[in-house]
Structure 1
């Protein structure tokens, strides 16, 4: 369906005149790629599709406009061109019959990935997913429109490299977001300057999430890997993990700090990648070492998690002791001689102190003898000796506890705060509250005691004085491990699946011919309403969407070749939107 509009299909700004757009230069006469949707296509009775921004083996990305919210958006269409095609002038996608099963598998993964991302919409450094829906025998994802440029363009427009202090300030909150994404069970596999955007507020946003097949060579989908930033296991059949994204972010830091893209992983041998500090002498040695450990070719030798990567990246190296000016030009022999001389002086100083102490004791003893005689002086002499001996050795005392401070005042110094008790508090609220003060690393678990989103089990006890920027590992509840299946009576597929997502219920959607509900509404589920669903063990339910039909004619009988009767039922084959049957 085509939607007539005065908007420019290149930038989605209002255009009331003929000819090319004065803002972006787009012209309505510009040729379109017939494989993808034509500009002004109207989706879900809400979104206007503009020009194609980019495309890869997974599908295409368009600029779009949300007519309900009145804002620009970005629309991603699932369309792996090795498995399906679109005929010129049509919006419906046609799937190759031999690839139907594989297409459905990848489509399901695409939907699950982006629905999980939609749950993380509170993260400010990830491109927000606004909507996920099925139409035209495929699925679509609506993202926020980012006002900014890619990090690749940003670096190209600047001096080419950045100072560590600038990188540290820009990337610190981004690292936290990446850790949270991993905790939610999502891998990116495409972290690079092309998928990281710098907004007009000088904040980083991660874009370009894709199904695993689109980021690994040797699959049925055309692979998109970013040379120099893709980990070596993405070129083989080795298992991908959090360490795969560690390689990507380490390569990004290498590019930012040195101005050079690392050698592509498959072209590297053991030691042919220069350390960052060898390219740029201003890079701190410990930063250079951590980046190189993140770029190890072997996943076993590489830093495994973002938590470890960040901890090592921001740990303060022990400062080297400054060399005295008079020793800066001495030979090793001269330095050794000076050390021997210093030792001799130290020994003589100790011997002198012992001699002085002996003289003091002797004088005090004689003084006591003259004053009180031999019988009464003995205890005094003994006391004097004991006192002197005691004063010549360190006094051993039990350590005393520091004075208690009030728990109501979390700030101890300008760079220190007293850690509160996060038990039972909202994770999203506390993350926002302690932004730039505490880095939370959550572990999501199911809990029958804590509500969804509540925290417990913090790694650092409450009332502990910590420095600003401290990393706190925290457990976040995903809600109860088993939940009752909600009612679907009279609900559309979009509303009901959104409700299931809130309850963490895994599901798949199928269309069936049914008159038990209106077309597009839920007809039934594979589990009865009210029955418990084991969300902790990923129990999956099937949601059947009704497609109304006119009852077919009664079965007729025909005589077969062998003379017997056969019952023949003629039924129309129906393919539901977004589902391959």
Structure 2
């Protein structure tokens, strides 16, 4: 078994108290109950010093022994459920917490294995390996480098334009969208978990299970004031894609305004969060409107998806369209003082109405007496040759207004719904959409609230979901040719250099993360592996292209190519 120094990555002949090369000490560097520096996990990863501790586990600095590159290692160790670790490093649950310990450990493993399957995705910290040992689970991740976004903002004072913000965060938006496509929700998006790399592009880190990011779950929760969504403060509220949308909107708010939004828990009591344009007048009006919609407390009134948010941040026209499609907030419910004031006003109105009725009756009685007296004293007029017929009144037919079908599932909620089928005729057309779920109604004509006759026709546009394209065969293409071919089909290439022993033409495509002929969504990230020049020494590796070749690529010594496309 190879033993290396986690500090300088030099190979050691045997376990020692310190590295003979750099002098770095191993003993006593990590607290009791955690893994000592120099511990080897899975036969290939060396544990370094502790970097961070949360309610779910411990994050260690580490190294991969075969390829000699730095990694981070997350150990599942829930503080509220785990007992003290023995000298054999085996982790044991507390008495009475065995079931919850086991289920949350399974959640931890499932989360990181799911992320491993979608990375390398642009903007996400790649998960390289997940394995079980010491009665717990370990997730090994790449070391992305860079600095946290919060620290980057402190060292780069001044207003950021919307264009700068979107360019920096686009990889993060893409990564979160990739998580959502496989049913994952991050729940921890904040400046602390976004790292800005040397090339100015951002990458998202800080994965965690739902228990860590929800108050009252049984774990010692980790929420981020100003960035965690309102639904994360209650175990009775459902969390979804709109939860990450709230957090991303909060990050953009911080970047353009210079301060974080008011924490959601405080806003639920009294919503005093100012609009972005109020804090920073230079923020465009449409951008201020987007952030206001993105930070709505009620999920149903909020922008629903990350692609919708990003598109709105970059398009005034789309913002106007999105504003019209979102549900309007429900009328404000009256508080107790409001109710009392309302009852008081109603009492005054009733009293005034009664007085007016009595006065009207008195006046009518007086007029009737005067008229009756005149009839007895005056000569009756001749009868008119014609009698005026009372004016006829036309009865207005009830007006029918078109229901709101936008956002409804056509097959499940409209097509066979007897409340609609007997009253309207539907003309349906299908349309691709990156923002509206397949089967949901995008728009209608006439619009909701417009007058429509009974039995009238309603035109509905139903989403076909994201557009699919066929993955082209780019094996053997030059890097430039492969990038051009993929982009022409609406796909996003992400290129990595791999070691070339002379078997491949330098600068040409060796393999891709998706097989040729496979149907993929437009906008999907395709990892393209490029053969390096045989004379170039490569010491780092990219994440694996798939589960089947993850083991082989981990020891091949690959490194990212110029990934600026």
Is TM more than 0.5 here?
yes
The answer to which of 34-43 and 163-172 deviates more is: 163-172
| Superposed counterparts of 1:523-538, under 5 Å | none
| Residue aligning to 1:280 | 280
1:182-222 superposed Cα distances (whole Å, 9 cap, x missing partner):
11111000000011111122211111111101100101111
1:218-277 Cα distance to aligned partner (Å, 9 max, x none): 011110011100001000120000010011000000111111011110111564111111
Distance in 2 between residues matched to 1:197 and 1:219, nearest whole Å: 28
> Shift of residue 6 of structure 1?
4.1
Question: Is 2:258 the partner of 1:212?
Answer: no
Q: Report whether the alignment pairs 1:455 with 2:519.
A: yes
Deviations 1:469-498 (A, max 9, x none): xxx57899xxxxxxxxxxxxxxxxxxxx95
* RMSD, matched Cα: 3.9
Measured after TM superposition, the shift of residue 4 of structure 1 is 6.0
Q: Tell me, which stretches of 5 or more residues in structure 2 are unaligned? A: 320-466, 476-481, 493-513, 527-545, 552-565
Asked if the contact 1:286–1:317 (Cα under 8 Å) also holds between the matched residues in 2, the reply is no
- Determine the structure 2 residue equivalent to 1:202: 200
Find out whether 1:289 has 2:294 as its counterpart. Answer: no
Structure-2 residue corresponding to 1:264: 263
1:247 corresponds in structure 2 to 246
Question: How many residues in Structure 1 have an aligned counterpart in Structure 2?
Answer: 354
SS at match of 1:153: helix
Contact in 2 for aligned 1:160/1:256 (Cα 8 Å): no
Query: Hey, what does 2:47 align to over in structure 1?
Result: 49
TM, length-normalised to structure 1: 0.54
Partner of 1:180: 178
Matches of 2:188 and 2:474, distance apart in 1: 27
Q: Which residue of 2 aligns with 1:32?
A: 30
What is the Cα deviation at residue 150 of structure 1? 0.8
Identify if the C-alpha distance between structure 1 residues 241 and 76 changes in structure 2 by more than 3 Å, giving closer, same or farther.
Answer: same
What secondary structure does 2:130 align onto?
strand
1:1-400 alignment, distance < 5 Å: 5-8=4-7, 28=26, 31-87=29-85, 89-159=87-157, 161-236=159-234, 237-268=236-267, 269=269, 271-317=271-317
Distance in 2 between the 1:129 and 1:295 partners? 30
**Superposition deviation, residue 312 in structure 1:** 1.8
**Separation in 2, partners of 1:121, 1:274:** 37
Contact 1:427 1:454 in 2 (8 A): no
Q: In the alignment, is the contact (CA less than 8 A) between 1:12 and 1:50 conserved in 2?
A: no
Q: Displacement, 1:172?
A: 2.5
Cα 1:294–1:428 change in 2 (3 A) is farther
Question: How far is the alpha carbon of 1:27 from its aligned partner?
Answer: 5.5
Aligned position for 1:425: 471
Per the TM alignment, residue 423 of structure 1 is displaced from its structure 2 partner at its CA by 3.7
Residues 426 and 226 from structure 1, CA distance in 2 versus in 1: closer, same or farther, beyond 3 angstroms?
Answer: farther
Q: Distance in 1 between matches of 2:474 and 2:81?
A: 40
Q: In the TM superposition, what whole-angstrom CA distance separates every residue of 1:281-318 from its partner, at most 9, and x where no partner exists?
A: 22111111101111011111111111221222222359
CA drift at 1:501: 11
- Quick one: distance in 2 between partners of 1:281 and 1:309? 21
- TM-score after normalising by structure 2: 0.56
Give the drift of 1:7.
4.2
- The structural deviation recorded for 1:453 is 8.2
- Residue aligning to 1:364: none
Contact 1:35 1:85 in 2 (8 A): no
Distance (whole Å) between structure 2 residues aligned to residue 93 and residue 144 of structure 1: 25
Do 1:48 and 1:66's aligned partners in 2 also have CA atoms closer than 8 Å? yes
Note closer, same or farther for the CA distance 1:4–1:169 as it changes in structure 2 (3 Å cut).
closer
